[in-house]
């Protein structure tokens, strides 16, 4: 039956309303409404000045606390056994937040360890990003829930939170009994198994933390746990009194669009601006915006040795790699050294400034981490820890291929075209 003219007009109007709503939701998901940092920061102090430390605590927060120990764990062969041993030792509580959780051998091991502790009476809370855990078998989730594990999935699609679908939790946090914490870049998937010996074994770094800063790690987990289900975890089982465990000063720094989307980028900009001698940056997704590039260029021009280590063709997002490479010209011209890690996918996220300030954790050097995702980095002040991170950086650098300005200028036209095309997506990378 043919529709009347009035019915057709109603259908057109309804379609226009639906299209408008979808456009609004898409706009809300692809943009951050806050003002962005637009001007380069003035250089007021250096990385080893007391004022730099005060700024990290007062402007960015939380307070830097003394008495911490941080152990550097390289690759799955050392990372996963340490995390699983901590889980199996739990007596009271386990809080665990991660982006990537896929099915596979290591995913099964973590489920077995978490469910065993839950059946033993330990309170176990697991927060998984919905997008990052989409490859996880539903049976594993149900198995944990049947054992008593509280499992939440961050920003699972629902009509109530459509405008937040582009906001993911990219944080990697594990806290056991409120006393031992883990953070870094590793996800729960078989790609991280091994020791970066071949393209099937990803290169990554994670950190085991003890001391007062673990309470800050627990608080960062709680931030998203409350957002996911409204339940507050507190008391001695989650926040015990913590004694000094080492000689490092540290803070657990976090960011989210809800709590100030530019705060993570501001922390990086302050650190780069304070650099006096060296900057060693390792990052798996290096897509700096114009302001960040200008800040790096300014550091290079005042004599800071800047080195950036990124993935090679072994990468899980070729679009990111192309968008990254298209921006390298001005940095290479200024003397910034860039190298691509050759053996396998390079998933490390770390910054070391002057060997004394280190920032390690989940944050990529791109717009998605700076403005769209929830991220968490452990900031550590201390030459001992910084020295270890530089040793690791040097070993990785030795296995990388340096890209010279001449190399970059010889790129084929087709490659340049795809780089320009990829750069159009830089706000979402």
Q: Are residues 91 and 202 in the same domain?
A: yes
- Does any domain span residue 8? no
Catalytic residue among 125, 155, 206, 347: 347
Which ranges of 120-212 does DSSP label H, i.e. alpha helix?
Answer: 138-146
What pLDDT is recorded for position 318? 81
Catalytic residue among 170, 206, 322, 426: 170
Q: Are residues 345 and 399 in the same domain?
A: yes
Q: Are residues 188 and 310 in the same domain?
A: no
Sites in the chain below the pLDDT cut of 70: 1-38, 158-166, 259-261, 422, 425-429
Q: In total, how many domains does the chain have? A: 2
For the record, the structure tokens of 282 come out as 């390792």
- Does any domain span residue 98? yes
- Does any domain span residue 28? no
- Does any domain span residue 62? no
Q: Which residues touch 49 (CB under 8 Å, ≥6 apart)?
A: 274
> Which residues face 97 on adjacent strands?
127, 173
Report the distance separating Cα 286 and Cα 220, nearest Å.
25
Catalytic residue among 314, 322, 349, 426: 349
Q: Are residues 296 and 218 in the same domain?
A: no
Q: Are residues 262 and 244 in the same domain?
A: no
From residue 83, how far is each of 159, 184, 250 by CA, in Å? 36, 12, 21
Catalytic residue among 223, 354, 366, 396: 354
Q: Which residues touch 48 (CB under 8 Å, ≥6 apart)?
A: 276, 354, 356
205-210 and 180-184 as β-strands: parallel, antiparallel, unpaired? antiparallel
Catalytic residue among 172, 206, 314, 322: 172
- Does any domain span residue 12? no
Report the distance separating Cα 132 and Cα 352, nearest Å.
28
Q: Of 233, 249, 265, which residue constitutes the final position of a domain? A: 249
Domain holding 95, by residue range, is: 68-249
177 annotated active-site: yes
354 annotated active-site: yes
- Does any domain span residue 270? yes
Q: Are residues 178 and 231 in the same domain?
A: yes
Q: What is the CATH number of the domain that holds 234?
A: 3.30.870.10
- Does any domain span residue 2? no
What pLDDT is recorded for position 385? 98
- Does any domain span residue 20? no
What pLDDT is recorded for position 163? 59
Please work out, in degrees rounded to the nearest 5, the angle formed at the alpha carbon of residue 417 by the alpha carbons of 415 and 419.
70
What pLDDT is recorded for position 346? 96
Catalytic residue among 125, 155, 177, 374: 177
Q: Are residues 344 and 207 in the same domain?
A: no
CA atoms within 13 A on the CB side of 14: 6
What pLDDT is recorded for position 33? 47
Looking at residue 308, what DSSP letter applies?
E
Q: Are residues 290 and 261 in the same domain?
A: yes
Q: Are residues 75 and 210 in the same domain?
A: yes
pLDDT digits (tens, 9 = 90+) for 320-337: 888 888 889 999 999 999
Q: Are residues 292 and 162 in the same domain?
A: no
173-176 and 150-154 as β-strands: parallel, antiparallel, unpaired? unpaired
Q: Are residues 209 and 272 in the same domain?
A: no
For 327, list phi and psi in degrees, rounded to 5: -100, 0
Q: Are residues 224 and 326 in the same domain?
A: no
Q: Of 223, 249, 275, which residue constitutes the final position of a domain? A: 249
Q: Which residues touch 156 (CB under 8 Å, ≥6 apart)?
A: 130
Q: Of 215, 249, 283, which residue constitutes the final position of a domain? A: 249
Q: Which of 401, 408, 267, 290 is nearest to 346 (CA)?
A: 401
Q: Which of 358, 385, 346 is nearest to 186 (CA)?
A: 346
Report the distance separating Cα 319 and Cα 421, nearest Å.
9
């Amino acid at each position: 039956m043919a529709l009347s003219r009035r019915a057709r007009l109603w259908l057109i109007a309804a379609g226009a309303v639906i299209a408008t709503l979808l456009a609004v939701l898409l706009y809300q998901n692809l943009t951050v409404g806050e003002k962005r940092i637009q001007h380069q920061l003035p250089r007021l102090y250096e990385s080893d000045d007391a004022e730099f430390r005060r700024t990290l605590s007062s402007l960015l927060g939380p307070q830097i606390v003394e008495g911490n120990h941080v152990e550097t764990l390289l690759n799955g062969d050392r990372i996963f056994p340490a995390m699983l041993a901590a889980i199996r030792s739990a007596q009271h509580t386990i809080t665990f937040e991660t982006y990537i959780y896929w099915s596979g051998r290591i995913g099964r091991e973590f489920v077995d360890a978490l469910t065993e502790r839950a059946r033993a009476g330990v309170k176990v809370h697991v927060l998984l990003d919905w997008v990052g855990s989409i490859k996880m078998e539903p049976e594993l989730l149900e198995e944990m829930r049947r054992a008593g594990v509280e499992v939440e999935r961050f920003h699972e699609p629902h009509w109530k939170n459509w405008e937040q679908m582009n906001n993911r939790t990219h944080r990697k946090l594990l806290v056991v009994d409120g006393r031992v914490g883990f953070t870094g870049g590793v996800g729960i998937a078989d790609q991280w198994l091994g020791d970066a010996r071949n393209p099937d074994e990803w290169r990554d770094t994670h950190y085991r933390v003890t001391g007062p800063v673990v309470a800050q790690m627990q608080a960062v987990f709680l931030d998203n746990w409350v957002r996911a289900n409204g339940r507050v975890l507190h008391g001695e089982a989650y926040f015990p009194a913590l004694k000094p465990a080492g000689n490092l000063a540290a803070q657990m720094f976090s960011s989210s669009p809800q709590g100030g989307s530019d705060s993570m980028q501001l922390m990086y900009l302050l650190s780069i601006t304070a650099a006096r001698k060296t900057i060693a940056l390792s990052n798996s997704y290096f897509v700096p915006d114009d302001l960040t590039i200008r800040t790096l260029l300014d550091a290079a021009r005042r004599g800071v040795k800047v080195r950036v280590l990124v993935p090679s063709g072994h990468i899980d997002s070729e679009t990111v790699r192309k968008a990254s490479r298209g921006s390298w010209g001005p940095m290479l011209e200024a003397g910034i050294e860039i190298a691509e890690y050759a053996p396998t996918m390079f998933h490390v996220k770390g910054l070391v400034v002057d060997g004394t300030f280190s920032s390690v954790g989940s944050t990529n050097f791109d717009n998605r981490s700076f403005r769209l995702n929830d991220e968490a980095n452990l900031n550590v002040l201390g030459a001992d820890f910084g020295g270890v991170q530089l040793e690791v950086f040097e070993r990785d650098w030795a296995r990388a291929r340096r890209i010279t300005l001449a190399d970059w200028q010889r790129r084929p036209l087709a490659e340049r075209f795809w780089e320009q095309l990829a750069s159009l997506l830089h706000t979402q990378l």
